[in-house]
Amino acid sequence: MAVTRKRLVLVGNGMAGVWAVEHLLKLAPDSYDITIFGAEPHPNYNRIMLSSVLAGGVDMDEIVINSLEWYKSNHITLYTGHTVTAIDSVNRTVFSDKGVEARYDELILATGSNPFMLPLPGADKEGVIAFRDIKDCQIMQKTAKTYKKALVIGGGLLGLEAARGLLHLGMDVSVVHIQEYIMERQLDEPASIMLRKELENQGMKFLLKKQSEAILGKKRVKGLLFADGSFAEADLIVMAVGIKPNIELARNSGMEVNRGIVVNDYMETSIPGISAVGECAEHRGIAYGLVAPLYEQGAVLAKRLAGLETEGYAGSVTSTKLKVSGVDVFSAGQFMEPEGTRAMRYQDEVDGVYKKLVIQDDKLIGAVLFGDISDGAMLFSLIKKSENIKGKEKEMLLGFSPEAGSSSQGSRLEGMADDEIICGCNGVSKGAIAEAIQSGGCTSVGQIKACTKASASCGGCKPLVEGLLHLYAGEAAVTVKEGICGCTPLGRDEIVAEIKRMELKTVKEVMNVLEWVNEEGCAKCRPSLNYYLGMLWPEEYIDEKESRFTNERYHANIQKDGTYSVVPRIYGGVTSPADLKKIAEVAEKFDVPLVKFTGGQRLDLLGVKKEDLPKMWEELDMPSGHAYGKTLRTVKTCVGSTFCRFGTQDALAMGIRLEKEFERLNAPAKVKLAVSGCPRNCSEATIKDFGVVAIDGGWELHIGGNGGVHVRATDLLCVVKTDDEVVEWASAFLQYYRENAGWNERTAAWVERVGVESVKQALENREERLALQARIQTTLSRTTDPWKEIVNEPELRKNFEPISQSGTI
């Protein structure tokens, strides 16, 4: 007899709610049909890693916790870009702003928090934003390309993370804070001063004890006025002064709310059938903004929904473990020395280490660590257990002697409770790691990472993960060097060598033969293997579409609202009236909201619906500009000698020739070229991956430039005389880069890593250059415009069905 599944609806696709669903799926996988609504056009991602995305060190794909495939494989109906606007608690139905209705037996509200914006005069000006989601990161990255002065209001964790990201983007950054020292909620004064000095050494500036009065400027912000009459210039102001639970939906639905949505110990709201979890929930008068308590709440909720007995949620003793601009800090419990306590301190200004323990009645009640936080989890465990530490205080403060170190750490780890959270970023407990080692057969940190996600984000918990590995695996534990991802210990060069040696021809074959820990791979290794196989076997390998990122699968760039942008190729920026007319007619037919000229001399059609993409490309009947892929993007040109009185060579013809020569070329990362008709360099050829600059009687060839987040000027490769030589050297360089760079490694980083002289030596022999040119031509001869496949294959068109029709990803 078939079991009737209940209907579970989750409002909020963030870390807290989805983690509760993950836990529920493990406990009762067949009990519910699950529907999730998310306001952002993204799958569930790690908000803790936003500062790394802002700084440019991490791509959006790398912070995704649960891919779209995960939702599909767990039969979860996902509505991205949908905001739930109303709840009918009598008929148990929710309604989204896009007209979707979903009935429920159980409803979870995980609506999170909204950033608190200071109600200052001028706060509505252009250039005043918060720092809360991917959209905010994108605005800051775009602003940094044009403007240079940024102010961050708020000297807490969020403010410092935003400031760090803006600093990496090349902006002049000052942090404005109303208190006399930064991070006063997590650190005491000595630790805060040490942190501020370190950040100042990195280029960050501070305006302390400053109360913001008004934001000045006409349409766009020009500066910030303080209550003491002083003024600071700014092109961008980021408010990072706190968050407030998002309770509007609950309030409008008649639920009891205070600062947050009021819940009991079982995460139930005042309305039957509705629960709340995460930053939006208020439990015993407290709304938590840290990750660990949210995971603890989610575990209780999942057990109750699975019908299992649970003691309920009794609140959390909070701790903060983080890395601020490369500096490790930790705090837990009552670290500000309340009355009736005593404090022990250790400070080493030379090595940048500070430790403070707060003790009351022979029990540890608080701690602050700076620089060395390896004992943080152990101290936090002692705080939570209220264990008597009399006689151990000095040892806890100064650390353990080298000869007793490993055994002492082992005993401390063994004494931790199984539900102790080891990886705060991903909510992985000590028990989950122990199970992965003892039952899952994990014998290395990399395997544990692939199995549980522990240490997969910031990496701060890695020492604890290593300690648990040695505790539970014993002699079976192995130290393995980090591979391209947690699925394998092998690096790029080892993988490529093994593929060639054993003539492996598919992604699945590589993962099987090379003994991948995760037999399905992950978002890091699958795209890289797909590229390496295509690069090594261009005549045989069939591109694996499912191993490509979303933009490459749909051949368009997904935008913040879930629509796409389409960029036809316009060779060298030169087009015709007929093509312009065709683009205009297609844009009108498909109601394209915005048509924009790009920095690469092309037209970008923005706001296209996913379901319109195949038909739109069919009617354009133009090659794709590949604005979305790890391939040749553009060849930027000036008018050269055709029109310009300074031009010495035909830059237009050379640019068009290069673009037609290398269009559709897959590469480890995106590639941009440029051709300038004279040394005045109007097309900015000296910050491109391959730049060509005309001189009297020839061409200068430049390599390894980058105009992005980390600007790098090119290195001069050589000087040639003829157009054919330009193509020969460009072919040889690009193929040598394709064959030797790591996946996702731009030419700028690659040239810096291997050295320009090694590239010159590799290409100096003409016979070798011609061999490289022949190999790149073989690859190019096997490529076709991807849109021809989509247009001609009805089965492929099914991938473009709108989410709003079926509701399922």
Whole-number Å distance between alpha carbons of 294 and 292: 5
Structure tokens at 253: 């639905």
DSSP classification of residue 687: G
Residues 786, 555 contacting (CB under 8 angstroms): yes
Structure token pair of residue 570: 């316009």
Tokens read off for 341: 């306590």
User: Is 644 part of any known ligand binding site?
Assistant: yes
Q: Which of 566, 635, 556 is nearest to 604 (CA)?
A: 566
Q: What are phi and psi of 724, to 5 degrees?
A: -60, -35
How would you classify the pairing of strands 421-423 and 428-429?
antiparallel
Q: What is the dihedral of CA 413, 416, 417, 418, to 10 degrees?
A: -10
Paired strand residues for 345: 356
For residue 351, report the phi and psi dihedrals to the nearest 5 degrees. Answer: -85, -5
Q: Which of 439, 452, 445 is nearest to 466 (CA)?
A: 445
Neighbours of 761 (CB within 10 A): 10
Question: Length of the chain in residues, anyone?
Answer: 809
Handedness of CA 569, 573, 576, 580 (dihedral sign): positive
Q: What is the DSSP letter of 404?
A: G
Residue 425, annotated as binding a ligand: no
Provide the pairing of β-strand 77-80 with 32-38.
parallel
Helices (H), 595-712: 613-620, 651-662
Which regions of 39-161 does DSSP assign to beta strands (E)? Answer: 77-80, 84-88, 93-96, 101-103, 106-109, 113-115, 128-130, 149-153
Q: What does the CA dihedral 752, 758, 762, 765 come to, rounded to 10 degrees?
A: 130
Is the CB of residue 626 less than 8 Å from the CB of residue 698?
A: no
User: What's the CA dihedral at 767, 770, 772, 775 to 10 degrees?
Assistant: -130
Burial class (CB in 10 A: 0-12, 13-18, 19+), 568: buried
Q: Are 116 and 243 in contact (CB under 8 A)?
A: yes
Per DSSP bridges, beta strands 715-720 and 101-103 are unpaired
**Six-digit token pair at 755?**
């050295």
- Rounded CA separation 252/88 (Å): 10
Of 599, 778, 574, nearest to 659 (Cα)? Answer: 574
Nearest 10 degrees: Cα torsion 281, 286, 289, 290: -110
Q: What's the CA gap between 316 and 332, in Å, rounded?
A: 11
**Cα–Cα distance for residue pair 16/682, rounded to 1 Å:** 50
Establish whether 461 is an annotated binding residue.
Answer: no
Closest to 608 in 3D by CA, of 663, 567, 547: 567
Cα-trace Rg, the chain: 29
Of 124, 175, 170, 128, the C-alpha closest to 146 is 170
Q: Do residues 328 and 314 make contact, with C-beta atoms less than 8 angstroms apart? A: no
Place of tokens 């909020």: 12
The count of other CB atoms within 10 Å of the CB of residue 805 is 8
> Please, are residues 428 and 452 in contact by the beta-carbon 8 Å criterion?
yes
Question: Which stretches does DSSP call E strand in 661-707?
Answer: 671-676, 690-695, 698-703
Binding residues are 638, 644, 678, 682
Binding residues for siroheme are 682
Binding residues for [4Fe-4S] cluster are 638, 644, 678, 682
